[in-house]
Amino acid sequence: MSGSAMSCEECLIIHPSCAWCAQEKFGSARTLTSRCDLRQNLQKRGCEAHHMESPSSSTTVVKSEPLSSKGSGPTQYDVIQIMPQKISLSLRPGDQTSFKVQVRQVEDYPVDLYYLMDLSLSMKDDLDTIRNLGTKLADEMRKLTSNFRLGFGSFVDKNMSPFSYTASKYQDNPCNGYKLFPSCVPSFGFRHLLSLTDKVDRFNEEVQKQMVSRNRDAPEGGFDAILQAAVCKERIGWRKEAFHLLVFATDDVPHLALDGKLGGLVQPHDGECHMNEKNEYSGSTKMDYPSLALLGEKLAENNIYLIFAVTKRLYVIYKNFTALIPGTTVEILDQDSKNIIQLIVNAYNNIRSKVELTVWDQPEELSLSFTATCQDGQPLPGLRKCADLKIGDTVSFNVSVDARGCPAPGTQQSFTIKPVGFKDRLEVSVDYRCDCGCTDQTQANSTHCSSIGQYTCGICRCDPGYLGARCECQEGEVGSMYLSACRQAEGMQICGGRGECSCNQCLCYESEFGKIYGTFCECDDFSCARHKGILCSGHGECHCGECKCHAGFIGDNCNCSTDTSSCVSDDGQICSGRGSCACGRCQCTEPGAFGDTCEKCPTCPDACGTKRECIECRLFSSGRLSDNQTCQRLCKDEIITVETLKTDDPNAVLCLYKTENECVMKFTYSEHANGMSVLTALKEPECGTAPDAMTVLLAVVGSILLVGIVLLAIWKLVITVHDRREFARFQSARSRARYEMASNPLYKQPISNDYVETNFSMYSKSYNGAAH
Residue 87 lies in a domain: yes
Is residue 767 predicted with pLDDT exceeding 60? Answer: no
Which one-letter amino acid corresponds to residue 593?
Answer: A
CATH code of the domain containing 373: 2.60.40.1510
Question: Are 138 and 284 contained in the same domain?
Answer: yes
Query: Mean pLDDT over residues 31-48, rounded?
Result: 77
Residue 467 lies in a domain: no
- Cα radius of gyration rounded to whole Å, the chain: 47
Residue 640 lies in a domain: yes
d(CA 29, CA 45): 14
What pLDDT shows up at residue 772? 42
pLDDT tier, 433 (very low <50, low <70, confident <90, very high otherwise): confident
Question: Are 172 and 153 contained in the same domain?
Answer: yes
Query: Which of 322, 352, 382 marks a domain boundary?
Result: 352
Residue 743 lies in a domain: no
Question: Are 298 and 425 contained in the same domain?
Answer: no
Inter-axis angle of helices 340-352 and 133-141, to 10 degrees?
30
CATH code of the domain containing 645: 4.10.1240.30
d(CA 123, CA 154): 11
Question: Are 613 and 640 contained in the same domain?
Answer: yes
Question: Are 92 and 163 contained in the same domain?
Answer: no
What pLDDT shows up at residue 627? 62
Question: Are 64 and 127 contained in the same domain?
Answer: no
Query: Which of 291, 322, 352 marks a domain boundary?
Result: 352
Residue 341 lies in a domain: yes
Question: Are 309 and 174 contained in the same domain?
Answer: yes
d(CA 508, CA 436): 26
What pLDDT shows up at residue 3? 53
Question: Are 224 and 369 contained in the same domain?
Answer: no
Poorest-pLDDT segment among 180-184, 269-273, 468-472, 671-675:
671-675
Domain that holds residue 671: 605-682
Query: Mean pLDDT over residues 287-306, rounded?
Result: 93
Residue 654 dihedral angles phi and psi, to the nearest 5°: -85, 125
Instruction: Considering only residues 405 and 161, tell me which one the structure prediction assigns the higher pLDDT.
Output: 161
pLDDT tier, 31 (very low <50, low <70, confident <90, very high otherwise): very low
CATH code of the domain containing 213: 3.40.50.410
Is residue 770 predicted with pLDDT exceeding 70? Answer: no
Poorest-pLDDT segment among 14-28, 143-157, 393-407:
14-28
List of residues 6+ apart from 340 with CB closer than 8 A: 129, 130, 133, 137, 249, 309, 333, 334
The secondary structure of 604-629 as a DSSP string is: STTHHHHHHHHHHHHHHS-SGGGTTT
Residue 140 lies in a domain: yes
pLDDT tier, 739 (very low <50, low <70, confident <90, very high otherwise): very low
CATH code of the domain containing 553: 2.10.25.10
Query: Mean pLDDT over residues 428-440, rounded?
Result: 88
What pLDDT shows up at residue 573? 80
Q: What is the pLDDT of residues 190-232, one digit of tens each?
A: 999 999 999 888 988 898 888 888 888 888 999 999 999 999 9
Rank 295-299, 520-524, 688-692, 696-700 by mean pLDDT and report only the highest: 295-299
d(CA 382, CA 385): 9
Q: Coil, strand, or helix at residue 22?
A: coil
Question: Are 121 and 269 contained in the same domain?
Answer: yes
Rank 124-138, 463-477, 496-510 by mean pLDDT and report only the highest: 124-138
User: Rounded to 5, what percent of the chain is helix, strand, coil?
Assistant: 30, 25, 45
Q: What is the pLDDT of residues 329-376, one digit of tens each?
A: 999 888 777 888 888 888 888 888 889 999 999 998 899 999 999 988
> Which region holds residue 3: left if phi is over 0, alpha if psi is between -120 and 50, else beta?
alpha
Question: Are 330 and 423 contained in the same domain?
Answer: no
Domain total for the chain? 4
List of residues 6+ apart from 366 with CB closer than 8 A: 91, 401, 402, 403, 404, 413, 415, 430
Give the burial class of 598: count Cβ atoms within 10 A of its Cβ; 0-12 exposed, 13-18 middle, 19 or more buried: buried
Query: Which of 352, 380, 407 marks a domain boundary?
Result: 352
What pLDDT shows up at residue 222? 92
d(CA 494, CA 475): 17
CA 310 centroid distance within chain = 21
Residue 232 lies in a domain: yes
> Pairing relation of β-strands 148-155 and 111-118?
parallel
Question: Are 210 and 93 contained in the same domain?
Answer: no
Query: Mean pLDDT over residues 75-98, rounded?
Result: 87
Question: Are 225 and 304 contained in the same domain?
Answer: yes
Poorest-pLDDT segment among 92-106, 124-138, 620-634:
620-634
In the predicted model, what is the mean pLDDT of the chain? 83
To the nearest whole percent, how much of the chain has pLDDT over 70?
88
What pLDDT shows up at residue 239? 92
Alpha helices in 473-583 (DSSP H): 480-483
CA dihedral 566, 569, 572, 577 (to 10 degrees): -110
Residue 461 lies in a domain: no
What pLDDT shows up at residue 765? 47
